[in-house]
Amino acid sequence: MSAPTTPPPGVDEALGLVEQLDEALIHGFARLGDEHRDRLGALVGVFEGSPLGAAVAEAVAAVGRSEFVARSFLALASARVALLGAAYDALVAQAREALGRPSPPSEEPPPPPPGGSAALLASVQQWLSELAIAGLKHLEETSVAPFAATLENLQADPDLTGLAALLTGFSNELIRYAPTSKQPALPAFRWGDLWSAAMIRTHQAPGSSTFREAAGVLTPLGLDVQAHENFLCAVLYGLFDDGEPRTVRVPFSGYKVDALAGAEAWDLFGPVAGPILQALDGRKTLKIADAELRADGDLILRSPPGVAGGADPFAAADRLTALPPPPALFRHPVHIAEPVRLAAGHGLPIAWERLPDGSELTAEIVADAAELIGLLRFDRGGWRVQPLCAGTRKKYVISGEDLADRRKKLKNPALDVLKERSGRLLRKS
């Protein structure tokens, strides 16, 4: 692979426009000066002639007159999502050209039928608009806390689960930072992502990917784990062969309490977790008998897989394919994760911050590796690689291989303790 060193034309400009939108969101649309308004005016020319052109032009004009309505903020949020989607497409195209890897056709899932209460969604739009008008760096806890009643109604509506989860995290984070005026720095890009994603979802929920029944053999390539005190997201990357080999993701995710961490958190996933961790520990393949292969590249396990024969991830990496592109609402440079095989001296920076604490892939192992399997990422304005598997002189080290052993050594699993305590409380009530 000839690793790309600079982003393709137009990406820096798109990210610059996103940064200008985020500055306005942090500063507050009611407080914009002429310089801010001039920067927002650049959006009009960028979107001219596009399906969003008229809505963006109307929104920028309204904001310039200090007329603040929800539809204007919805248009600006849509523009932000579109800019990041265009950057995602350009970056993925650059990476796959460097890899000589053709992109699979895109399948945009149909939007789901309207769900949830129109009045409830309008209330969410109004709150998000009020945040934008005031400015995220001027928030007090009293600006955020009243949203709790609306959030409770969102959480009770099964049609709005995704939006409720997003806004639960966003509002909790805003409260933790409040008063935001006292903070030395705010996560402007992250908050811009959360604000715009929530605003878009008040208008249109993401569609569900189509799928087909699948059975075959999965060769693990490594585990990507991202977690905080209340949520765990783990993705097993692998080569799945059901007669036609392809790269897939096997996702696991779930809410948790902060007492569940590391290997213990895998108890959340029930009987499916055991064989996955055994295969990583024993360097084995997995026999998949009952799964959904989704159009977006996710392999959803309906039942525990079987641990099969020996796995050679570097041989499997010779047959890696491109993952299908996600729906438009999810196309964002932070989500780029292109599985690659790299030889020593590849020249790419290592995305160490993406490795969980206690990762098997230490700096010494990665530095000593003759070859790597990793995820090509676009972080901090440039290309980086997140290691998944390192080929050393005698063997390979794969991310997640120590979890099974650590899980076996647990004497009093926190999940068992929590279940026992909750059972006692229920019996007393």
Q: What is the domain partition of the chain in residue ranges?
A: 11-103+115-201, 211-406
- The sign one gets for the Cα dihedral 5, 251, 292, 207 is negative
Residue 302 has a pLDDT of 94
Question: CA dist 204 to 118, 199, 241, 325, Å?
Answer: 12, 9, 35, 19
CA distance 413 to 268: 11
Nearest-Å Rg of the Cα atoms of the chain is: 23
In this structure, which amino acid lies at residue 190?
R
Q: Tell me the two tokens of residue 400.
A: 């997640």
Residue 422 has a pLDDT of 56
How do the pLDDT tens digits run along the chain, 429 residues long?
566 778 899 999 999 999 999 999 999 999 999 988 999 999 999 999 999 999 999 999 999 999 999 999 999 999 999 999 999 999 999 999 988 888 887 776 666 666 668 899 999 999 999 999 999 999 999 999 999 999 999 988 888 888 988 998 899 999 999 999 999 999 999 999 999 999 999 988 776 778 999 999 999 999 999 877 677 889 999 999 999 999 999 999 877 777 777 788 888 888 999 999 999 999 999 999 999 999 999 999 999 999 999 999 999 999 999 999 888 888 999 999 999 999 988 889 999 999 888 899 999 999 999 999 999 999 878 899 999 999 987 789 999 999 988 888 876 665 555 556 556 555 565
* Chain-centroid distance, C-alpha 293: 19
CA distance 237 to 56: 39
330, 206 contact by CB (below 8 A)? yes
Residue 105 has a pLDDT of 75
Q: Is 380 exposed, middle or buried (0-12, 13-18, 19+ CB in 10 A)?
A: exposed
* 99: nearest Cα among 414, 396, 321, 269: 321
CA distance 213 to 236: 19
CA distance 387 to 249: 16
Q: Tell me the two tokens of residue 183.
A: 């903070």
224, 336 contact by CB (below 8 A)? no
CA triple 394-395-399, angle to 5 deg: 145
62, 40 contact by CB (below 8 A)? no
Q: Which helix (H) or strand (E) holds 306?
A: strand 306-310
Residue 416 has a pLDDT of 59
Residue 114 has a pLDDT of 61
* Chain-centroid distance, C-alpha 209: 16
* Chain-centroid distance, C-alpha 315: 28
Contacts of 55 (CB under 8 A, 6+ apart): 71, 75, 78
Task: Dump the DSSP string for 73-86.
Answer: HHHHHHHHHHHHHH
CB count in 10 Å sphere of residue 45 = 11
- The sign one gets for the Cα dihedral 130, 135, 138, 139 is positive
Q: Helix, strand or coil for residue 55?
A: helix
Q: Which helix (H) or strand (E) holds 21?
A: helix 11-27
Beta strands 299-301 and 396-398, pairing class? unpaired
Q: Is 236 exposed, middle or buried (0-12, 13-18, 19+ CB in 10 A)?
A: buried
Residue 115 has a pLDDT of 62
Size (the chain), residues: 429
Residue 352 has a pLDDT of 93
Contacts of 233 (CB under 8 A, 6+ apart): 225, 226, 227, 251, 252, 253
